[in-house]
Structure 1
Amino acid sequence: MICIADIYHKNCIEQILNNGVYDKNPRPKYKDGTPAFTKFITHYVETYDISKNEFPIITLRQIAIKNAIKEILWIYQDQTSDLNVLKNKYNIHWWDDWESKTHPNTIGIRYGETVKRYDLMNKLLDGIKNDPYGRRHIINLWQENDFNESDGLKPCAFQTLFSVRDNFLDLMLIQRSSDLLVASSINCIQYVALQMMISKSCNLKPGKFTRVVNNLHIYDRHFESAKIILNREVGEQPILELNTNKTNFYEFTIDDFEIKNYKFQSPQIKFELGI
């Protein structure tokens, strides 16, 4: 089975490079202070059927899948924005450049701290278990009160909507913004992992995963890397499994996840980030 994520990824690169629009006065900057311009498309949608082993894992370059899932555990299990927890518990440092000035050693009242403040995870689990066919199974991380209380990067992957369909749990992820080459593949597999954890907790099977991105972009210093990826061949479909008898959402660990048939392509490509 060919890797559907590779096909999506290459098509997106072509769309952005050939038909995208350049932004103006961008907020992010490279470390040398130069504005980090992007070329972008809007209203991008992609869908995978997890029940048919269609996983959003690209093979065109190596993705840190387990680290991506660890970040989801930090947000939705630990429910904190504390960078020390992220670094000491999970050995992840990629949020360091976004440390809050008003709330040192955190990324501000964002992501996990918002989940905890409004008890979003427990409300979602209770709702799916007790009213499975309800149409209000939503986690919304876009909370203006939180933004007013602290500085920090506002959530990119900010809303998830869950739907029960017979024995399946479907998930829609909505992103205001996504960096195609660096973050997109990470965000996709993160939220499929979350979908799998919630499904297991609610005695359901993961079904469809759909991602909607308002602004999907490539940074100007990544154009040449994008062309390298375009010249790589589509690989075989990798598989992610949650192998455990646990059913308590808060007991799942990174060791419960297994990645199969992941044959990524080399050499690895490094990207300069816009902060």
Structure 2
Amino acid sequence: MNEQAYLDLCRHILHNGKDKGDRTGTGTRSVFGYQMRFDLKEGFPLLTTKRVPFRLVWSELLWFIKGDTNIRFLLENNNNIWNEWAFESWITSSKYDGPDMSDFGRRRLTDESFAADYEKEMDRFKRRILEDDDFAKEFGNLGNVYGKQWRAWRTSDGNVIDQLKEVIHSIKTNPDSRRHIVTAWDPEDVPGNMALPPCHTMFQFYVQNGELSCQLYQRSGDTFLGVPFNIASYALLTHLIANECGLEPGEFVHTLGDAHLYHNHFEQIEKQLSRDPGPLPELNIYAPEKSIFDLSIDDVGIEGYHPHPGIKAPVAV
């Protein structure tokens, strides 16, 4: 079963990983170099041992596909997964006029009074992003993150490359090429032009026997919170590009560099590992005649998804 590949990764990290410090100060247990394979003909790999909200996966991927880098689109679709990075840019700016929010990622977990202030300030931030165009332009933009690199890669001569359009054209016109690659890792932008350097850094497509497969290289994977989203997102992208190119979805191969579990996720992952996986859902593209670049949020969905309940865990920022 496809899901077993992910559960095996979690067990492997718990039992064989090494404890390390990390950028967030939370601490991780990690392994380096790990690969999972998902046969997309066996079902859509959305975890069943805990609920993974598909609409959040799809709205984030649609945001990437559109080349958008401002969280306003995400908030309009009730997607809050990028809020903390934009919020941090506001609370560290000279224009912030609220209570001290420094180190909010950890303080909100241990200080109830601070957590209440944080929620109040985050709500105020989100409202301003949605209602104030100038504020959204200044503080909702995350810099040259995924959408920018996929759709408007900056060249040395001042032009841009639409990598996603070019790779689709390449798949259609030269399916046997070994150059069906999209990269989000721009060494020039990483130091200061991105709210978060890309974790899923590069992906490559492969065509064989009328099927499209995709391999992702992910330099860093938050295995409990992030990796389930990444699996679903790139499986979905493979389905969408296969549909665009008149191919069937084949396999999604997920290669990880630093695959880690945060120390404050151990209890949650043990709970998840105690559960039995169920049948995988089916992905439906309700408007298969549309180009991937014209899809809307209601054009894609899943059926037959009956997971165990979700498991909450803190995000390390």
For residue 251 of structure 1, the aligned residue among 294, 303, 306 is 294
Does structure 1 retain, via aligned residues, the 8 Å contact 2:146–2:184?
Answer: yes
User: Which of 46, 54, 60 is residue 65 of structure 1 equivalent to?
Assistant: 54
Give the drift of 1:185. 0.9
Matches within 5 A, 1:141-156: 141-148=184-191, 150-156=193-199
TM value normalised by structure 2: 0.78
For residues 194 and 243 of structure 2, the distance between their equivalents in structure 1, rounded to whole angstroms, comes to 35
Q: Structure 2: any 5+ residue segments left out of the alignment?
A: 94-137, 154-161
* Aligned-partner Cα distance in 1 for 2:75–2:203: 26
Counterpart selection for 2:30 from 40, 45, 53: 40
Q: Distance in 2 between matches of 1:247 and 1:112?
A: 20
Shift of residue 238, structure 1, vs aligned partner: 2.1
- In the TM superposition, 1:1-275 aligns within 5 A as 3-5=1-3, 7-24=4-21, 26-28=22-24, 35-50=25-40, 52-76=41-65, 78-88=66-76, 90-99=77-86, 101=89, 104-118=139-153, 119-148=162-191, 150-266=193-309, 268-275=310-317
Looking at structure 2, the residues matched to 92 and 234 of structure 1 have their Cα atoms a distance apart, in angstroms, of 26
Q: How many Å separate the matches in 2 of 1:120 and 1:169?
A: 17
In the TM superposition, what whole-angstrom CA distance separates every residue of 1:67-96 from its partner, at most 9, and x where no partner exists? Answer: 1011111011x10211122222x2212101
| Deviation per residue, 1:119-148 (Å, 9 max, x gap) | 111111111112111110100000112225
Cα 1:40–1:116 change in 2 (3 A) is same
- Give the deviation of 1:151 after TM superposition: 4.1
CA distance in 2, matches of 1:175, 1:105: 25
Whole-Å separation in 2 of the counterparts to 1:237 and 1:204: 22
In the alignment, residue 97 of structure 1 is paired with which amino acid? Answer: E
Percent pairwise identity? 26
Alpha carbons 2:143, 2:195 under 8 Å: kept: yes
User: Can you give the 5+ residue segments of structure 1 that lack an aligned partner in the other structure?
Assistant: 29-34
Kindly provide the amino acid, as one letter, of the partner of residue 14 in structure 1: R
Answer whether contact 1:110 1:152 (CA < 8 A) is retained: yes
Residues 44, 223 of structure 1: alpha-carbon distance in 2 compared, 3 angstrom cutoff: same
- TM-score, length-scaled by structure 1: 0.89
AA aligned to 1:145 is E
Identify the range of structure 1 (168-177 vs 8-17) with the bigger mean alpha-carbon deviation. Answer: 8-17
Of 242-251 and 171-180, the range deviating more from structure 2: 242-251
Q: Do the aligned residues in 1 keep the contact of 2:163 with 2:182 (CA within 8 Å)? A: yes
Aligned residue type for 2:143: G
Q: Indicate the larger mover: 119-128 or 93-102.
A: 93-102
Letter in 2 for 1:22: D
CA distance in 2, matches of 1:223, 1:158: 26
Q: RMSD of the alignment, in Å? A: 1.7
Pick which of 141-150 and 225-234 moved more: 141-150
Take 2:69 and 2:245, find their aligned partners in 1: how far apart are those partners? Answer: 26
Deviation at 1:228, TM superposition (A): 0.9
Distance 1:15 1:164 in 2: 31
The equivalent residue for 1:32 is none
Contact preservation (8 Å) 2:2, 2:39 = no
Conserved? CA contact 2:149–2:183, under 8 Å: no
Residue 258 of structure 1: how far off its partner (Å): 2.9
Letter of the structure 2 residue corresponding to residue 9 of structure 1: Y
| CA-CA distance at 1:36 after TM superposition | 0.9
Contact 2:214 2:238 in 1 (8 A): yes
